[in-house]
Amino acid sequence: MASVELRGLTKHYGPNAVVDNISLMIDHGSLVCLLGPSGCGKTTTLRLIAGFVEPTGGEIRVGERLVSSTSQSLPPERRNMSMIFQSYALWPHMTVAENIMYGLKLRKIDSATIKKKLDSILSTTRLGVLADRYPGELSGGQQQRVALARALIVEPETLLLDEPLSNLDANLREEMRFEIRRLHDEYRYTTVYVTHDQSEAMTTSDVIAVMNAGKIEQAGSPEEIYDRPRSEFVARFIGMSNVVKGKALDAGTVQFSGMPLKVVGGPLKTGEETAVSIRQQHITLSAQEPAAKNGNAIAGKVVRQVFLGSNRDYMVEVADGTQLRVITAANESVPPGSTVWLHLPPERCRALMG
């Protein structure tokens, strides 16, 4: 087991920087998700770590070893890494057991050790009863567990996963998120997990690195990324926050739609255009005008209301035309066209730095 460090890692294809000077420390035994939309550079970063692609600039270190730079690059087979692809890539003519122990046979491990390791991994991944079946006889979730078992049994220093759940249906994806986290807690391999799915990243990871246009916009724990986004991109991508804009009146106040909005996350520079994020579920909606016309309360008109079973989803337009999405309890029904008051708690209004 070893840490993985990216230092100024860059990959150009022609004039385009697909990975643009990123630096990231992945501590040994941790699971880091590279999260972002299609085309943000996350899969190319994973392929650079695996050794399938050589960098244009920067370097990759695994523990004390330099595995990639512009002057030298270890081939994939010498990096002691296991990679799981979207397609699982199981051998269709081999049984579950044969697929799992294939890597050990290539390494010419003795048969007694192979049997011991196979029995252990079959038990841990709950595949024992399926050991003699072929991939074509398995469900998508079972095939995914076989791919995980095959990757884990060779005891890699680093485990790489490239959108491993994208081919599963919604229910299986949710189940396998917890399974991947359970197996990580069991083995504690240093793991890099690529996904575009926020729920996968929040469920599985110790650290989320949000990528955009080849750069890491922010890296931190799931709680930090969700509760304290630093940029407008991160705020919108993680949890789809409302983002409002206005001029800073002082270090902790923004002028928004004709009212002073108290915020956290500063200090702000007076007069600067500032973006502020606030999540839909943190806004309180009321049909009654508050007794005190301050404290981040603002009037608006309901332009949409949708009943979603456990809650209601509102779109409310305020005086300057900005529309705010608000999630309330299901029993709070206010029809479109109604005037309402929104309370935006100051501690939930976060000024964004970029």
DSSP string, 91-157: -TTS-HHHHHHHHHHHTT--HHHHHHHHHHHHHHTT-GGGTT--GGGS-HHHHHHHHHHHHHHT--S
Residue 171, pLDDT score: 80
Both 246 and 278 in one domain: the answer is yes
CATH no. for residue 29? Answer: 3.40.50.300
Both 101 and 38 in one domain: the answer is yes
Question: In the structure encoding, which two tokens stand for residue 157, read together?
Answer: 């220093």
Both 226 and 271 in one domain: the answer is no
Domain of 118 in residue numbering reads as: 4-232
CATH no. for residue 277? Answer: 2.40.50.140
Both 200 and 312 in one domain: the answer is no
Distance CA 126, CA 142 (A): 9
Question: In the chain, where does DSSP find H-type helix?
Answer: 42-50, 96-106, 111-124, 140-153, 170-187, 198-204, 222-227, 232-237
Both 96 and 220 in one domain: the answer is yes
Question: In the structure encoding, which two tokens stand for residue 217, read together?
Answer: 């916009």
Both 265 and 179 in one domain: the answer is no
* Secondary structure of residue 67 in the 3-state scheme: strand
Which of 187, 208, 232 marks a domain boundary? Answer: 232
Residue 294, pLDDT score: 57
Cβ(129)–Cβ(85) below 8 Å: no
Which of 33, 264, 249, 73 is CA-nearest to residue 161?
33
Both 250 and 224 in one domain: the answer is no
Both 66 and 197 in one domain: the answer is yes
Distance CA 285, CA 297 (A): 10
Torsion of CA 280, 281, 283, 288, to 10 degrees: 120
- What amino acid occupies position 343? H
Both 228 and 347 in one domain: the answer is no
Which of 215, 232, 249 marks a domain boundary? Answer: 232
* pLDDT tens column, 243-256: 999 999 999 999 99
Both 216 and 346 in one domain: the answer is no
Both 42 and 189 in one domain: the answer is yes
Domain count across the chain: 2
Both 258 and 190 in one domain: the answer is no
Residue 1, pLDDT score: 62
Which of 209, 232, 255 marks a domain boundary? Answer: 232
Distance CA 221, CA 239 (A): 15
From first to last of the 354 residues of the chain, give the pLDDT tens digit.
Answer: 689 999 999 999 999 999 999 999 999 999 999 999 999 999 999 999 999 999 999 999 999 899 999 999 999 999 999 998 888 789 999 999 999 999 999 888 999 999 999 999 898 888 999 999 999 999 888 898 899 889 889 989 999 999 988 877 878 788 888 988 988 998 899 999 999 999 999 999 999 999 999 999 999 999 999 999 999 999 999 988 999 999 999 999 999 998 999 999 878 999 999 999 999 999 999 988 876 555 799 999 999 999 999 999 999 999 999 999 999 999 989 999 999 999 999 999 999 976
Residue 141, pLDDT score: 84
pTM of the predicted model as reported, rounded to 2 decimal places: 0.86
